[in-house]
Structure 1
Amino acid sequence: MMLKKYIPNLLTLLNLLCGTIAVIFAVNNELELAAYLVLLGIFFDFFDGFAARIFSVEGELGKQLDSLADVVTSGVVPGIVVYKLLQTKKSIEIFNTEIVSWKTEDIELLPFLGLIFTLAAAYRLAKFNIDERQTSSFIGLPTPAAALVVLSLPLILNYSSLEFATTLIENKWFLIGLTAVLSFLMNAEIPLFSLKFKDYSWKNNRIKYVFLILTIILVISLQFIAIPLVILLYILLSIFFKELK
C-alpha cells in the first residue's frame, strides 16, 4: 500500500519522459510525432494531480516536479515547434528587407521568435508555484492548454483538408502573432475555471459539464481543428460564467 504515494510522481516523470522524447523528435522536424508525445505527456500531467488527490499524497515535491516536467513538455517542445514552422526559406525571404534582416551569415534569426513561448511558459509555471490563488482555479491560461494550441498546428497541416486552415498556419505573421497572444494569455490576470471536480453535481460543476459536452461535439465534428477552438471556448466560457455570478 505504501507504493501508492509514488504513483503521482511516477506519472509526472512519464510526462517529463514524453516531453524529453518529443524534444528530440521536434528538433529532427518530426513535428507530428512530437505532437502525439506532448498529448500523451499532458494526459499523464492531468492524471498525476488526480492520483495525488485520490491517494491523499499531495505534497510540495510533487508540485515542484510537476512544473519542472511541464516546462519541458508544455514549454520547450511548443517553442521548438514554432521555431521549426518558422524555419523555412520562404519565411526568410518574406521577412528579410532592406530595413530589417532576419538572417546573419548562415543563421536564421526569425525562427527564434518561437522560443518566446518557452520563456513565457516557464515564467507562468514559476508564478503558479507561488500563487496561492490558483488552488481550485487558474489565473491565466494553463501552460498545457497553450501547448495544445501550438501542437495542433502540425497535426492540422498533416490531416486537415481545409485550405483556409493550412494557409493560415503557413502564414508567418499568424505564427508570430499566435506566439505573442498565447504568451500573453499564459501570464495575464484572467480567471479561468479548473477541471478539478470536488463533487459531480450539476449545480457546482455546470461550467465544466457544458465545456466537456461542447468539447466532445467539436472534436467529433472538426477533429484536430477543434483543439484551438476548444481552448478559445475554455477562455470564453470562463469569462461568461464569471459575469453570471
Structure 2
Amino acid sequence: MKRHIPNLVTLLNLFCGAVAVIFAVHNNFVTAAVFVFLGIFFDFFDGLLARKLNVQSEIGLQLDSLADMVTSGLVPGIIMFKLLALSMSGSGFYEPTRDWTSAMHWYGLNVSPFAFFGLLITLASGYRLAKFNVDEDQQTYFKGLPTPANALLIISLPLIMEFQNHSFLNAVILNSWFLLVLTVVSSYLLVCNLKLFALKFKDWSFKNNSVRYVFIILSAVLLIVLQFAAIPLIIALYILVSLFTK
C-alpha cells in the first residue's frame, strides 16, 4: 500500500495543474497561481516521500513529469499567451479589432498571432522534462532551470500587477517586447545545459548545505521586503549562485 502513497501525491499535483488551467483560461490568474503553488508543493513532497518510504519506481518518475507538464508547463504557457494578448490588444483579451492583419478570429476569439508565441514556454517545458527523464546525471544538480521554478517566474507577473499595482512595474510587464524576450529567455533556460544546484537535502547540516541555507534565507528576506516582485529576483539569484558555486 505504501508504494502508492507518492503516486497519489503526484496525482494531487496533476489535479491542481488541471484546475489551474481552467482558471488561467478564464483569466483568473490569482486562483490559477494558488493551484500552481499547491501543485509545486505536492511535487516537492512526492519525491521526498518516495525516498523516505524507499518506494521509488519508474512509473513514479514518468507520472511526476506528466504532472509537471501540466502544472509547470502548460499553465505558464497559457498565462504568457494571455499576457501577450493583453499587451497587444491594449485594453483586454477579447477586444474586437478592425485590423484584420494583426488579429485572428476563431470562434469569437480575437487575438494577435504573436500571442501564441507564449506557448513556446510549454514546448520548452515538455522538452526539458523529457530530457530530465533520460538523464541519470541530474541527481544532485539540474541541467537547465527546473520547470517549477520557471512556472513561479511566469505566474509572478500577474500577481505583481494584482497585488502590488505599481504603475512602472505594470508598464514593464505589459510591454510586448519585454514579454517576448522573457519568453525566449525562460524557454532557453529550460532547455540549456547550465548546471544549477538542487534544493535536495541529504542531511540537515549547515556544512553540507551552506549554499542551500543561504539561498533560502536570502529568498525569504526578498519575499518579505518585495513580496511577489521578489520572485523574478529569486530566480535570478538562484542562477547566479549556481554559476559561482560550480
Counterpart pick for 2:32 among 17, 31, 34:
34
Distance 1:231 1:126 in 2: 22
1:184 is aligned to 188
Q: Any residues of structure 2 matched to 1:86-105 within 5 Å, and which?
A: 86-88=84-86, 91-92=88-89, 101-104=101-104
Structure having the larger proportion of residues in helix: 1
The Cα offsets for residues 146-193 of structure 1, whole Å up to 9 and x where unpaired, read as: 010001111101001433222111111111111110000011110000
Instruction: State the alpha-carbon separation in 2 of the partners of residues 145 and 73 from structure 1.
Output: 11
Tell me, in whole angstroms, the C-alpha distance in 2 between the residues paired with 1:205 and 1:107.
Answer: 47
Match of 2:67 among 63, 66, 69: 69
Partner of 1:85: 83
SS of aligned partner of 1:192:
strand
Q: SS of the counterpart of 2:22? A: helix
Counterpart-to-counterpart distance in 1, 2:115 and 2:10: 30
SS in 2 for 1:203: coil
Partner letter of residue 67 of structure 1? S
The answer on 1:211 being equivalent to 2:215 is yes
Amino acid at match of 1:24: I
Query: What pairs up with 1:1-245 in 2 under 5 angstroms?
Result: 3-88=1-86, 91-92=88-89, 101-104=101-104, 106=110, 108-242=112-246
Give the counterpart letter for 1:206 in structure 2. S
Contact 1:92–1:103 (8 Å) recurs in 2: no
RMSD, aligned CA: 1.9
User: Secondary structure at 1:138's aligned position in 2?
Assistant: strand
Residue by residue over 1:184-206, the C-alpha shift from the partner in whole angstroms, topping out at 9 and shown as x without a partner, is 00111100000111111222111
Looking at structure 1, the residues matched to 80 and 103 of structure 2 have their Cα atoms a distance apart, in angstroms, of: 17
Structure 1: 5+ residue runs without aligned partners? none
Letter in 2 for 1:74: S
- Distance in 2 between residues matched to 1:40 and 1:104, nearest whole Å: 34
Distance in 2 (CA, whole Å) between partners of 1:151 and 1:143 is 12
Structure 1 residue 241: deviation in Å?
Answer: 1.1
Query: What secondary structure, in the 3-state scheme, does the structure 1 residue paired with 2:199 have?
Result: coil
Residues in 1 aligned to 2:165 and 2:27: alpha-carbon distance in whole angstroms: 21
Deviation at 1:219, TM superposition (A): 0.8
Q: TM-score, normalised by structure 2?
A: 0.91
Identity of aligned residues (%): 55
- TM-score, length basis structure 1: 0.91
In the alignment, is the contact (CA less than 8 A) between 1:35 and 1:154 conserved in 2?
no
Amino acid in the other structure paired with 1:42 = I
Q: Which runs of 5+ in 2 are unaligned?
A: 91-96
